[in-house]
Amino acid sequence: MNKNQNGATTIEFALSLIVFFTFLLGIVDFGRMLFTWSAANEAARVGARYAVVCDDTNNEAQVLRRMQGLLPQIAEIRVVWYAEEGPACTPSTCDGVTVTIVNLDYQWISPIAGLATRIAPVRMPTFSTYLPREMMRQDPNSEALCST
């Protein structure tokens, strides 16, 4: 073996390890993004379920708090009640509710995607769920669901 090449194997191993870990972090980060996507869908469903079962049309903060239990990154939601008679309704006259997650950002941690988005996180699409009104407060589990 040549004296000038004693550390060549170590250098090659270190360089290939950097590439390996970069791709490994990219795969893990992509999995994190898919988990966030799935959790946001589920949080929108849970928020709509909470809003439709608990008979208070002014409970947006409580809906947000319930949704943040699943995905703490959620910062802004919209809760819109629908009625056949018009836009204004009471819990007894509403036909359904739509809960929408808006402005949800995702921050990459991997070096490949992270370099491009280091300054600003990636904006995810809006997640929305509509549920028709149930017999509010008639659900046997609604007391447990609506308690804060």
The pLDDT tens digits for 50-70 are 888 876 667 788 889 999 999
**Residue 122: C-alpha distances to residues 32, 36, 44, 145 (Å):** 13, 12, 19, 33
Confidence of residue 118 (pLDDT cuts 50, 70, 90): low
Cβ-contact 114, 32 below 8 angstroms: no
Q: Is the pTM of this model over 0.85?
A: no
State the average pLDDT over residues 32-55: 89
Is the pLDDT confidence value at 32 over 60? yes
**Residue 85: C-alpha distances to residues 7, 48, 90, 91, 134 (Å):** 80, 21, 11, 13, 18
Confidence of residue 128 (pLDDT cuts 50, 70, 90): very high
- Cα distance between residue 99 and residue 50, in whole Å: 10
At CA 47, angle to CA 74 and CA 37, rounded to 5?
50
* Domain spans of the chain, in order of start: 3-146
Is the pLDDT confidence value at 86 over 70? no
